[in-house]
């Protein structure tokens, strides 16, 4: 193992072809829930308050009007997940001028579908990876998966100094929508969920290199609140995954996130005032506002999170990686706290230095 930080050399995202405008989603949702018109009228404000204008989907909008079972959902998940990860991974390697045969290990995160063999195995051919590449598939992290997955990829890179680790993440949240589910959580999902994938190239360099990293991951950690399973997650239903969202999430964030964050930073001899920025997973407009209040952030501090939410929606684990990509494209620099909340209920954190 090495104490050197894991360097990030490239961050790329990929999105499916179907673009959904929020106004069109609202119209279709009214059709789905037309058997409960009063209920939908009360809930319709969620679409305007979500902070989302457009999203990407691996299926056309009309697909969501009909019921679908596990076999169809799983087929669509496998096909689209592999295609998006292959696109993001190839783009990521090309941007860093790294050959597929140079990859020593992959870490693949996804929680919106299940396939066996796992996605990391199925991607070896499309990405041109060697048969002996080390593989780590991770399921069940939900929205926290972008930060936890990055942390695990950094840990793998630390155990393989000088070797390339490809971190891949894909979430097809739209495929989990079930028109038979009238719950508030399912309706909120139609207002925020989108599909996407991301890829990052990570290495702990052994010597000076002509490749300049774009960021470095120097520390990471998690906090899981006891007895909080019902706060966020999935239920396994006969026709797919049922979304679990507690209405208390914004209040929990406002009340509990700051002490957990302070503890993580103190363990790394830092305070919030030592940071140059915060890169957070934008779960939704209310959660972002709660984060701003809890961490005492200024209005523009979460601008990248809000812009990703506006343009891409909540893509679960992928979203915070898209926020990182946008910060790098904006030439942000300095020490940043990267954070996301997911099932558990868990806060995941990492220190990322943007170059």
> In the β-sheet with 6-14, what is the strand arrangement from edge to edge?
134-138, 103-109, 164-172, 195-203, 6-14, 215-224, 346-354, 334-342, 277-280
* Domains of the chain, earliest start first: 6-203 (3.40.47.10), 215-354 (3.40.47.10)
Q: List 21's β-bridge partners, or say none.
A: 54
pLDDT tens digits, 10-50:
999 999 999 999 999 999 999 988 888 888 888 888 898 89
Which residues are known catalytic residues? 143
Residues 72/239, Cβ–Cβ less than 8 Å = no
pLDDT tens digits, 165-219:
999 999 999 999 999 888 888 888 999 999 999 999 999 998 767 789 999 999 9
pLDDT exceeds 90 at position 7:
yes
With the C-alpha atoms ordered 47, 50, 52, 53, is the resulting torsion angle positive or negative? positive
SS3 145: helix
H/E stretch holding 215 reads strand 215-224
**pLDDT reported for residue 245:** 85
């Amino acid at each position: 193992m090495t104490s050197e930080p894991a360097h990030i050399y490239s961050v790329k995202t990929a999105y499916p072809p179907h673009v959904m405008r929020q106004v069109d989603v609202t119209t279709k949702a009214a059709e789905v829930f037309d058997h409960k018109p009063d209920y939908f009228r009360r809930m319709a404000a969620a679409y305007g308050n979500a902070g989302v204008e457009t999203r990407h989907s691996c299926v056309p909008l009309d697909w969501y009007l009909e019921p679908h079972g596990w076999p169809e959902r799983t087929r669509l998940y496998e096909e689209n997940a592999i295609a998006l990860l292959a696109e993001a991974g190839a783009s990521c390697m090309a941007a860093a001028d790294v050959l597929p045969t140079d990859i020593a290990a992959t870490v693949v995160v996804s929680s919106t579908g299940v396939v066996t063999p796992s996605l990391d195995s199925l991607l070896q051919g499309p990405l041109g990876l060697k048969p002996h590449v080390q593989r780590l598939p991770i399921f069940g992290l939900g929205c926290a998966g972008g930060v936890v997955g990055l942390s695990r990829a950094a840990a793998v890179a630390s155990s393989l100094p000088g070797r390339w680790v490809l971190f891949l993440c894909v979430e097809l949240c739209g495929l989990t929508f079930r028109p038979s589910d009238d719950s508030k959580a399912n309706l909120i999902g139609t207002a925020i969920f989108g599909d996407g994938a991301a890829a990052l190239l990570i290495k702990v360099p052994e010597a000076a290199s002509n490749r300049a990293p774009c960021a470095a991951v120097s520390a990471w950690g998690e906090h899981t609140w006891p007895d909080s399973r019902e706060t966020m997650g999935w239920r396994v239903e006969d026709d797919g995954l049922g979304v679990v969202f507690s209405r208390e999430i914004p209040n929990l964030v406002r009340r509990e996130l700051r002490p957990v964050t302070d503890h993580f930073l103190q363990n790394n001899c830092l305070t919030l005032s030592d940071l140059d920025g915060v890169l957070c997973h934008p779960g939704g407009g209310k959660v972002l506002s709660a984060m701003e209040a809890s961490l005492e952030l200024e209005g523009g501090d979460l601008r990248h999170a809000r812009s990703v939410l506006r343009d891409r929606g909540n893509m679960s684990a992928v979203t915070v990686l898209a926020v990182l990509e946008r910060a790098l494209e904006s030439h942000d620099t300095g020490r940043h706290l990267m954070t996301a909340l997911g099932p558990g209920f868990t806060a995941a954190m990492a220190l990322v230095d943007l170059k």
